[in-house]
Amino acid sequence: MKTGQRVRLRAASPIAKRDEMAADAVGTVICSYRVRARVGAPERLDVKFPSNTVMWGVAADEFEAVDEARQFV
């Protein structure tokens, strides 16, 4: 995933179940990176949501990309 991309938590994500985040909340990737000190570490994302909530360092596979054309349907 890349900076500026719109994403939402996957419904099956344990984070979606644990946090009080609306299932349809769409955020923007503010940073995408890998922790190089860990071999095979997954891509990590920092994502900002409209409620001014920021999720720091969450594995990218916890998110799914939002198709911009279908976002407001």
SS (H, E, C) 16-72: HHHCCCCCCCCEEEEEEECCCCCCCCCCEEEEECCCCCEEEEEEHHHEEECCHHHCC
At 13-64, the pLDDT tens digits run 888 777 777 778 899 999 999 887 777 788 999 999 988 889 999 999 999 9
Q: Which helix (H) or strand (E) holds 8?
A: strand 6-9
pTM, two decimals, is 0.80
Using 50, 70 and 90 to split pLDDT, how confident is the model at 8?
very high
